Structure 1
Amino acid sequence: MSKNKLIVPEAREALEKFKMEIANEFGVDDPRNLASKHTGLIVRELIKMGEEELIDNKKIE
C-alpha cells in the first residue's frame, strides 16, 4: 500500500476502481504492473477529469 495518505480516505475504493479501469484500457491485468509512462498518462487523465468537473461545477453556480 502507498505511504501517501488520501485527503479523503473514503475515496480509496473509487481510486482503486479508476486505476483498474485505466489498466484495462492499456491492456494491463494488474495496475501494479503499469510502467511510469502509463502512470503519467493516468495522472494527466485525472487532472483533465478534475478540471472538467471544476468547469462544470462553475457553470452550475
Structure 2
Amino acid sequence: MSSRNRKVVPEAREALDRFKYEVANEIGVPLKQGYNGDLTSYQNGSVGGYMVKKMIESAERNLMNQ
C-alpha cells in the first residue's frame, strides 16, 4: 500500500521535521528522533493538530499583510 502523505514540496521535509519537534516541545509532548511508539494517539494527534493550527495562523497573517 502506498502512502498518500506525499509532500507537495519535498524540499520542505527537513523544515517540517524541525517544526514538528518545535511544536511537540511547546505543548509538552516528549517526541524524540526515531521510535515514538510509547506516545499515545492523543499525544501524536495533539502535535499534528497544533501544527495545522499554527500553519493556518501563519497563512492568515500572510494574507492580512498582502
TM-score with structure 1 setting the length: 0.68
Structure 2 stretches lacking a partner, 5+ long: none
**Larger helix percent:** 1
Note the aligned Cα RMSD (angstroms): 2.4
- Do the aligned partners of residues 28 and 42 (structure 1) sit closer, same or farther apart at CA in structure 2, a change above 3 Å counting? closer
Gaps of 5+ in 1: none
Structure 1 runs of 4+ aligned residues shifted over 6 Å read none
Map 1:5-44 → 2, pairs under 5 A? 5-24=6-25, 25-30=28-33, 32-33=35-36, 34-44=39-49
Aligned residues: 60
- The question of whether the paired residues in 2 share the 8 Å contact of 1:19 and 1:31 is answered with no
Return the TM-score normalized by structure 2. Answer: 0.64
CA pair 21-58 structure 1, distance change in 2 beyond 3 A: closer
Shift of 1:18: 2.2
Percentage of identical aligned residues: 37
The structure with higher relative contact order (CA 8 Å, sep 6+) is: 2
